Structure 1
Amino acid sequence: MSQLITGIHHVTAIAGDAQKNVDFYAGILGVRLVKKTVNFDAPDVYHFYYGDEAGHPGSILTFFPYGDITGGRHGKGMLNTTTFSVPLSSFSYWQERLKRFGIATKEPQERFDNELFIYFEDPDGLGLELVFNDRDERPGFTYGPIPLEHAIRGFHNVEIWEEGYERTAGLLTEQLDHQLIAEKSGRFRFAATDKPGNYIDILCTPDSLKGLSGNGTVHHIAFATPDAASQLEVRQRISKRMLNPTPVLDRNYFTSIYFREPGGVLFEVATAGPGFAVDEEMAHLGEGLKLPEQFEPHREALIKALPPITLHLDQYK
């Protein structure tokens, strides 16, 4: 049987101030703003997509910057940490860069005996890590504010906290083509493809509080599937597990289905295409405000409602 799930597609989180979000991710972290559009369910709210130079699945972190809403709380039943993959040789560079911009970090740590990482948070409190490794062959952003040899390559892994790992593990291995590839100290690592950018870590945290949605928390994680046909096959699998997936929804740059896994995290399965160059040339990704067709007649009103944002990348070099 062919593999229907190939890895992580994207992670979507909730943010506050739109300009601070752009400054942090496109500026300090130096990932590319590949698409500036709006929330399908709340078109007066931006939807930002950040990723590698071409916006490949496995590199895309997206945000709904809602403005001044209540901050969320990390806890069980949530994806609490999203990690980026960077070269092992870039450790000193990133330590100095985060310090330069006043980003507080925890002390460097190791995981699974050989995985060096630094934990920090974005302006809204979203949990992030840089994982330093020499296994990632993906290219960096060639003309971003970070020198190419130190640039973020995409995701490394995500970290989900659960009461127990068994039911979510069953879903990952039986319906979503993942395998258990590592286990240590209550951390269970799964992957559909054993490469940086595709690792799902489940932590058993029965004593932690239940997470609460709000600024600084993850809304959902999306898994990648090759095309519409494979997406429908996955949907059949999920339906048989009685997890009530949504119908297929058109998100312009991919199509999606959504469902909640047994621990409460919202999962999505998204197609690899058509991709972010469908309405902008690759060299100009993220430059214009792109609206779903149903909102195009309201462009003028939406531009007035959305806060203006500016890319100030030169000051982050």
Structure 2
Amino acid sequence: MAGRGLHHVTLISSDAERSCRFYACLLGMRLVKRTVSHEDPGTFHLCFGDEVGRPGTLFTLFPWQRVPRGRRGACEAWQTAFRIPLGALDWWKRRFQEADVPCGIGWTGFGEPCLMFEDPDGAMLALVEAAAPVAPEPRNRSDVPAAYAIQGLHDLVLKVRLADPLSELFREILDFNEIGRRGQLVRLAAHDQPGGTITLDEAGLLPRGQLGAGSIHHVAIRARDALDQDSLVRALHDRYGIVATESKDRIYYRSVNFRSTCGLLLELATDGPGFDIDENSERLGMSLKLPPSLEERRGELELLLPSLPLPTSRRHESEEIT
């Protein structure tokens, strides 16, 4: 790993089935894990990514059924951009038009061609054309051709009151480098692979937002392993006095949470062990996976959780998964 970069981004949605169809059917991302929130097991934790859910390709959801929309504010992620191959924008624009999803072609703050749109909960999203460092893989159960497929996270725009303090934390502790400034924008990069880039958008005295549907719940940064995670926690405390949570076993990675110097909720997530630890790679996302501590409640949780079909294409074909 040349640099840490993003491990995953977690969004709050208001409808598990609708969100699953949007991200898996329309966008062609693979549902690589269907599990629950460890702290709130009556809520799904749905994980989308590339074929095996590599760090940097992961976009995950907490579907808080029927929760009101959030209100955007200071020190939170406002827009998630996904990387697509060069020349793919027109294909995606036609696809969105056929699906009656409003979109518009434009440019990022750093001059990259992009297609801007929103998910059903109003989350701000974009597809950005970028030279692919690796060849795209075919996506199981998706009708998106590999030549146009989403390759992972491209950029995450964080709206902050002041950019420099958070930029320092990302540079000094999390191995990012500043690679550009334009107006109020500061771009940081850890590497050129998916998930390598973050943009800070300095907004001044912007009020705080309110979490809800369409809000980014937290942003996870990669740690190589548990030892690396421990060293990052010590560095955060020694330099900034930040006290992180204890390391928690999330089965597919270990996580530590902390608030940044501006209040942004961040997570340090280890690269492993990965999403295939309890499922064959061909069956990823096909069945509900629970932490061992919750297995005795499986019957109760299956009744409590909303039904979730596994989408197979943008034509909304589906089959039930259990």
- Give the TM-score normalised by the residue count of structure 1: 0.95
The offset of 1:138, in angstroms, is 5.0
Aligned-partner SS, 1:40: coil
The residue identity in structure 1 corresponding to 2:309 is T
Structure 1 residues 141, 79: closer, same or farther in 2, change over 3 A? farther
- Counterpart in the other structure of 1:132: 129
Following superposition, the deviation at residue 181 of structure 1 comes to 0.7
> In the alignment, is the contact (CA less than 8 A) between 2:136 and 2:147 conserved in 1?
no
Question: Displacement, 1:137?
Answer: 2.1
Per-residue CA deviation, residues 14-41 of structure 1 (Å, 9 max, x unaligned), is 1101100110000000100000000111
Q: Distance in 1 between matches of 2:38 and 2:301?
A: 13
Matches for 1:1-317 after TM superposition, within 5 Å: 6-113=4-111, 115-137=112-134, 139-143=136-140, 144-240=142-238, 241-314=240-313, 315=315
Question: What is the CA deviation profile of residues 87-136 of structure 1, one whole-angstrom value per residue up to 9, with x for unaligned ones?
Answer: 111111001011111111234224323x1112111001111110012244
* 8 A contact 2:28–2:139 mirrored in 1: no
Write the distance in 2 (CA, Å) between the matches of 1:58 and 1:299. 30
- In the aligned structure 2, how far is the partner of 1:225 from the partner of 1:41? 22
Shift of residue 316 of structure 1?
Answer: 5.4
C-alpha separation between the residues in 2 aligned to 1:208 and 1:93?
Answer: 37
Name the aligned partner's letter for residue 142 of structure 1. Answer: R
Structure 2 gap ranges (5+): 318-322
Match of 2:87, SS? Answer: helix
Q: Distance in 2 between matches of 1:127 and 1:86?
A: 17
Q: Distance in 2 between matches of 1:132 and 1:207?
A: 32
Higher alpha-carbon deviation: 183-192 or 29-38 = 183-192
Within 2, Cα distance between the matches of 1:75 and 1:106?
Answer: 23
Q: Secondary structure at the match of 1:297?
A: helix
What is the deviation of 1:313? 1.6
Contact persistence 1:31–1:141 (CA under 8 A): no
Match of 1:291, as an amino acid?
Answer: L
Question: Once the 2 structures are TM-superposed, how far is the Cα of residue 73 of structure 1 from its aligned partner?
Answer: 1.3
CA RMSD of aligned residues (A): 1.6
Compared with structure 1, are the counterparts of its residues 301 and 288 closer, same or farther at alpha carbon in structure 2 (3 Å cutoff)? same
Cα offset, 1:311, TM superposition: 1.9
Residues 14, 216 of structure 1: 8 Å contact kept: yes
1:101 and 1:308, CA in 2 relative to 1: closer, same or farther beyond 3 A? same
Residue in 1 aligned with 2:320?
none
Residue pair 1:32, 1:141 contacting (<8 A) in 2 also? no
Paired residues, number: 314
Farther-moved stretch of structure 1 (268-277 vs 304-313): 304-313
| SS of equivalent to 1:237 | helix
Tell me which moved more, 203-212 or 76-85. Answer: 203-212
Q: Give distance in 1, aligned partners of 2:205 and 2:275.
A: 41
Please report how far the alpha carbon of residue 294 of structure 1 lies from its aligned counterpart in structure 2 after TM superposition: 0.9
Runs of 4+ in 1 over 4 A off after TM superposition: none
